[in-house]
Structure 1
Amino acid sequence: MLLEVDGLTKSYAGPEGPVEVLRGVDLALDAGRTLALTGDSGSGKSTLLHLIAGLDTAEAGRIRLDGAEVTALDDAGCAALRRGRVGIVFQQFNLIPSLDVAANIAFQARLAGRHEPERDARLAGALGLTPHLAKYPEQLSGGQQQRVAIARTLAARPKLVLADEPTGNLDETTSGAVLEEMLALVAETGAALLMVTHSEALAARMERRLHLSRGRLA
């Protein structure tokens, strides 16, 4: 099993005391599989992805990813995990302002030692970015920046892709292209895809779907 989440609990401080966001969440995802995570806004979907990526810490529970105990890693260990094995597409694009589109796409793959210029070119073409490769992030629209962030993640060929509303700023046609590229990565490399989405059309394309409500998955 590539990803195993057992008994994960997370709360945040509220004006009237701690607010439980996740209450003993269990989740398993094998290599080469896809899973849609749905739920109302504020239900904890993004929090769950942050915990799996090692960007936040849980009060209780265990996360095991590709043989690594994420919940036992220090900051450096979590950073190494994200650099080499986990690809993240969050709602914040986090592009590097001083790099053009081509360099932004290649950035993560270079860090992971898996840079393939031909793959960069294919991703850029599939996502409609070829005319913009020499531009800088500030010259792009929000939707274009989102596509660059997605291309950067997929170019590195991670073992697990965590995608939080990856098509939220995209039109229907481009959303379809993005999903096809993500599914192609799963097929080509045996990666797993965990996608948070409100789109019924995207969720229907995943092999499995789980719904997060009141801190629990069903």
Structure 2
Amino acid sequence: MKDTLLDLQDIQKSYDATPVLAGVSVTLSAGETLALTGESGSGKSTLLHLAGGLDQPDAGRVLLHGQDIGQMDDTARAEARRLHIGLIFQQFNLVPSLTVGSNIALQARLAGRHDAAFCTTLGHRLGLSDLTTRYPEQLSGGQQQRVAIARALAPKPALILADEPTGNLDEDTGDAVLSLLLDLVSETGAGLLMVTHSPRLAGRLSRRIHLSRGALAAA
């Protein structure tokens, strides 16, 4: 039995009195890959933000390695993200004053786990080897997305949270990026929770759950 990495227990969340999540429970084990699907507005991104400690639930528990990050203060949650979580969101949030190479290394340096050889390997596998001295403004949207993915993976996080990580990529590149994510999970024992609208991509993960109107439902 693999260790439970992430345990979301009866999560409830509303914004401006509008319910977004209504008692959602999800578990993710180390080394497991889980696809989260659902229509727009079903609460997928909200659940991902709560899992990453970027927001706090109104009720329920968000346990990471058995610790309730939903009850931590902002400083402690930021520390948990830095040390344990790789975030891949649709907003790239690259640092404009840093080169591609420095952007890729940033999270690993902050976590105290910078591995130059691994960063180089990530850049190569994501097709960024010839772009390391460029700046974000010199890149296409797809290239920026690949840099953001490399940055999230560089510290070898225990938990990878990805919101449509291939959304700005063509199908072939998207398939290659997902293969890299799955390889990293296999190599490091990380857990992957990925939001996707693609049944084809969801089918490549070990398990799938579906959200509808803020609750788990049949896909």
TM-score by length of 2: 0.96
Amino acid at match of 2:206: E
2:148 corresponds to which residue? Answer: 149
Q: CA deviation at 1:118?
A: 1.1
Give 1:214 deviation, angstroms: 1.4
The residue number in structure 2 matching 1:2 is 5
- The number of aligned residues is 214
Is 2:82 the partner of 1:79? no
2:32 alignment counterpart: 33
Q: 4+ residue stretches of structure 1 with deviation over 3 A? A: none
Shift of 1:41: 0.7
CA RMSD of aligned residues (A): 0.7
Matches within 5 A, 1:115-126: 115-126=114-125
* Separation of aligned partners in 2, 1:168 and 1:200: 13
Counterparts of 2:40 and 2:30 in 1: how far apart (Å)? 28
Match of 2:89 in 1: 90
Looking at structure 1, the residues matched to 113 and 66 of structure 2 have their Cα atoms a distance apart, in angstroms, of 21
Per-residue Cα deviation, 1:1-38 (whole angstroms, up to 9, x for no partner):
1110111000111xxxx211100000000000000000
Distance (Å, rounded) in 1 between the aligned partners of 2:31 and 2:91? 26
Tell me the alpha carbon deviations over residues 43-97 of structure 1, each in whole angstroms, 9 at most, x when there is no partner.
1100001111111111100010012211111000110011000110011001011
Provide structure 1 residue ranges, at least 5 long, that are not aligned to the other structure: none
Q: Which residue of 1 aligns with 2:138?
A: 139
Write the distance in 2 (CA, Å) between the matches of 1:59 and 1:207: 30
Query: Which residue does 2:66 correspond to in 1?
Result: 67
Distance in 2 between residues matched to 1:68 and 1:108, nearest whole Å:
22
CA distance in 1, matches of 2:64, 2:152: 18
Partners of 1:58 and 1:49 in 2: CA distance: 11
Between the aligned partners of 1:171 and 1:121, the Cα distance in structure 2 is 23
Structure 1 counterpart of 2:51: 52
Gaps of 5+ in 2: none
